[in-house]
Amino acid sequence: MNNNIDKKTVKKGLLPYLFITLIIISIFYFVNVLNSSVNVLTYDEFVNELDNNNITELEIVTRSSAYTYEVRGSLKGYDENESFFARLPLSEQVMKKIVEAEDKNSFKINVNADPSSSTFLLIVMNVLPFVIMIILGFVLFSRQMSGSKSSLDFGKSRAKLNPDTNKVTFNDVAGLKEEKEELKELIDFLKNPKKFQKLGARIPKGVLLFGPPGTGKTLLAKAVAGEADVPFYFISGSDFVELFVGVGASRVRDMFQQAKRNAPCLIFIDEIDAVGRQRGTGLGGGHDEREQTLNQLLTEMDGFGANEGIIIIAATNRPDVLDPALLRPGRFDRQVTVNLPDVKGREEILAVHARNKKLADGITLSNLAKRTPGFSGADLENLLNEAALLAVRRDKDVITMSEIDEATDRVLMGPAKLSHKYSENDRKLVAYHEAGHAVIGLKLANASDVQKVTIIPRGSAGGYNMMVPSEEKMCSTKTDLLEEITGLLGGRSAEEIVFGEITTGAHNDFEKATKIARSMVTEYGMSDLGPLQFEQQTGSVFLGRDYNKSHNFSNEVANEIDMEMRKIINDCHKKATDIIKKNRDLLQLIAESLLEYETLTKEQIDYLVEHGKMPEENDDNYEAMSITKLREIAKKKEVKNYSKMSKSELLKELNELDK
């Protein structure tokens, strides 16, 4: 790349000099032309000069086509750049007169043939323009053909061959142990297909990977190709769909033709739902371009044998919208669910992404994995990357827990709004609201563990609680759901008890609580209405998932559902209020600590509960100090307007001074 840059630089540097050289040559040429003078003589004048012996040099050019002689030469008394020109009739008498004068006066004579009589010049003048036009047309046509968007290239496959330089193996895929076991058969078949053919085993033609976004479906497909060491063709489902009818089907045919020429190989179709949606649901009917593409894909998958060495792996986040013909045996024979990783899987994923990162000695990946339930592999990679960026921004040599905490908040809620200003009253409201959530989490036996509480605004939230389940479960009990609702209502209960007023800050809590309560009544059978399911998601995915939600109940039952939901919410609200009233001192302690420190970690909260005060502050760690302590330090360092600054602003000023 550097060589190419150097060549371009040299070319750009030579252009001005070439331009200047051309200008100088042109100047000399025009100067010579202007300085030279040509005198045109008539035939009589030329004969007179010839008879008077005034000619010193003569050049004769025969013009057979014009029946004339053209003569040029010099006369006695002419300057260096002065000459004459005359046109003479084509006759023997003229030539005889010139020859006699030359014998008598001995001047120099040159005779040149007519240039138009040259065969070579004739060919050049007549053939060269056509040759130039043919070459120019060929160049333009070649460029048109080589363009990826050429009209003649619509039917070509957009599948890209993954280069060997990007080879991925199972060592790069963590947290998907069962999924890798399911795909090992494909690797064995691609390496040694005869072993399967001896026993008459039919290897799956296609494997469908589905699961939430970011769980590693694409990475898993690349790892299969890397382990088998076979060509890996990558294409997106949207690459088949075009404006022109028939283009998608043509690309499908071309893709399978390329695959057959390079078998054994692997074809990976990402986001197959873009082309594989159920037929008969669109407005275009059977002539819809997408449906024609899907029909061709179904035909091609039936057109090659099970043991030809071509395996298709497809990925999607929405298997419910796929056409049933795609999922039948003989096409996508095997379906593999790629779920979010558990705590062990998250630890393995973190270990993969932490290979090239320098972590501080106190950081253990197992503890970090416990703090990130619900994170996908992509989220975990982004978490460590954000932490590394923050460490670089803060001029640190290693990634500390402070950067990881901030990166976790960024991934979940977005960057902190440090410049956001709100009044002391609003700050106090947010502090008591978040403290209410924390008290419920601390006092309920089956509640999630409080990992972090902050009143620093992020996203649309003025503050938030990070609560992590004590252990990850496959199923939730009725008690778990009721205590989750109680925890969500803790903020509103704290507002009512402390301020005797309610605010709009709990709207997101109500949204989550109402959704859980309705699911308990209508889907999970966790109410006095009995183990019945009143609602199910049968709405069309093409019109909106909740547009045609099925309601299998009468108006009377609908009223009972509303009453049961209200009963659940009211009971949980009453329970949250009672807990906060009994622990009013703890509520006030946490809220006042939040006003001083803005953010409390699990260790600080546990220390508060046990000792009734915050742990001693470390003078070397500004972030763990209270705002009062920071203002004292800012006063000593003569920071202007320190008394009006928030904690985040003080931290920024002090860190800048220390640098």
Residues labelled as active-site residues:
434
CA atoms lying within 13 Å on the CB side of residue 616 = 2
CB–CB of 438/465 below 8 Å? Answer: yes
CA atoms lying within 13 Å on the CB side of residue 33 = 6
CA distances from 246 to 36, 242, 576 (A): 71, 8, 63
CB–CB of 419/583 below 8 Å? Answer: no
**Largest pairwise CA distance in the chain:** 142
Instruction: At 526, list the tokens.
Output: 């966790």
Alpha-carbon span 131 to 128, nearest angstrom: 5
Alpha-carbon span 353 to 375, nearest angstrom: 14
Alpha-carbon span 76 to 50, nearest angstrom: 11
CB–CB of 340/375 below 8 Å? Answer: yes
CA atoms lying within 13 Å on the CB side of residue 165 = 0
Alpha-carbon span 643 to 650, nearest angstrom: 9
Instruction: At 517, list the tokens.
Output: 């309560």
CB–CB of 262/256 below 8 Å? Answer: no
User: What is the residue-wise DSSP string for 141-203?
Assistant: HHHHHHSTT-GGGTTS---EEPPGGG---GGG--S-HHHHHHHHHHHHHHH-HHHHHHTT---
Nearest to 455 by CA among 484, 510, 413: 413
Alpha helices in 304-423 (DSSP H): 324-327, 343-353, 365-370, 377-393, 401-413
Q: How many CB atoms lie within 10 A of CB 591?
A: 25
Per DSSP, the three-state class of 109 is strand
CB–CB of 332/208 below 8 Å? Answer: yes
Strand-strand pairing, 535-536 and 550-551:
antiparallel
First and final C-alpha spacing in the chain: 37
The order of strands in the sheet holding 449-454 is: 464-468, 449-454, 599-601
Cβ neighbourhood burial of 600 (10 Å; 0-12, 13-18, 19+): buried
Instruction: At 628, list the tokens.
Output: 């009062």
Residue entry with tokens 């109410």: 527
SS3 content of the chain, % helix, strand, coil (to 5): 55, 15, 30
